[in-house]
Amino acid sequence: MTDDRRGMGRGLAAILPRSGDEDGLREIPVDLIDPNPRQPRSSFDETKLGELADSIRVRGVLQPVVVRPLAGGRYELVAGERRLRAVRIAGVEVIPAMLRQTDDWERLDIALAENMARQNLNAVEEARACAMLVDDLGLTKEEVGKRVGRSRVAISNLIRLLDLPEDALELIESGHLSEGHGRAILLCKDHSSRKRLARSARDGAWSVRETERRAREAENGPPEKREPKVIHPDLAEALAAAEDTLAAALGRDVKARARGDHCMVEIEFDTPAEAVELARSMLAAGVRKVVRERRAAATIGVSTAVQAGGTGD
């Protein structure tokens, strides 16, 4: 059975039912698999097929196809046309396949979803498992999400990772890039640019945010440089005076900028806690001022009453 799971990765292989007397995972000669006459897709991207074939030559088939038995020892493909075509291009003679004797898919998809929730899979293995549940076994993304404890959007984002080039998927599987890097690279629609971005993100140790910025630039071009805004000298002098006065009062670096007809002030803190401390001290100062004003008002009121009483005598 170990050989049956070669190339699929420990995580994804662990969620697939083992081969029994009838159903289960096994390796089947490619020449014995007939195409699915109900396959809705008639054309496949040759470039992506070639990439997948190259990956299969090196790493094996990472997601099994689904077949059902026919008379005479042959099989009919149920799901996985793209993988089967890539295997034939790669010149591989056998392919891992989930054999289904009947149309009882419910037991299989429930088992896959439950096992997926228990196993420690990386993002790409999770994406392949979700794709098998959705594309091959017919579950909706919402149904998969409910069974593994995730939202429909999270499942959609996982499956979208499989739109990445094989090179990028390998970098995510190996831990050189994260799932967040993968989603950022998908912001760029060009397949070749995605490959370059993935390699550059690894080599440059880019953060996810930096990868997002580079992907947007690759897709839309660099942002246009804006001409510096000319500020009237009087306004510039007033902003500088505001910065100096606020900085002296608050004990912080302050920047004041013109924003249309208004003024925007930025106060720099080393930590969020410092901002909270300043706010509390300002509130306390405000309370003390109110107390002083009330005391002063009360004193004035008493003094006035005393004076009025003395005049009455």
Q: What is the set of active-site residues? A: 81
Q: Using alpha carbons only, give the angle 128, 119, 92 rounded to the nearest 5 degrees.
A: 40
Compute the distance between CA of residue 290 and CA of residue 238 in angstroms, rounded to an integer: 30
> Looking at the chain, how many residues does it have?
313
Supply 154's token pair.
């999270």
First vs last Cα of the chain: how many Å apart?
A: 113
Helix (H, G, I), strand (E, B) or coil at 133: helix
CA gyration radius, the chain = 33
Instruction: Centre a 10 Å sphere on the Cβ of residue 161 and count the other Cβ atoms it contains.
Output: 22
Supply 208's token pair.
């996810």
Compute the distance between CA of residue 171 and CA of residue 55 in angstroms, rounded to an integer: 13
**Alpha-carbon torsion, ordered 297, 299, 303, 308, to 10 deg:** 50
Compute the distance between CA of residue 169 and CA of residue 194 in angstroms, rounded to an integer: 11
- 42 neighbors 94 (Cβ within 8 angstroms): no
Compute the distance between CA of residue 138 and CA of residue 117 in angstroms, rounded to an integer: 18
Of 87, 72, 111, residue with least CA distance to 27? 87
Residue 30: HSE in the Cβ half-sphere, 13 Å Cα cutoff: 17
Please state the φ and ψ torsions of residue 39, each to the nearest 5 degrees.
-60, 120
- 33 neighbors 95 (Cβ within 8 angstroms): yes
Instruction: Centre a 10 Å sphere on the Cβ of residue 169 and count the other Cβ atoms it contains.
Output: 23
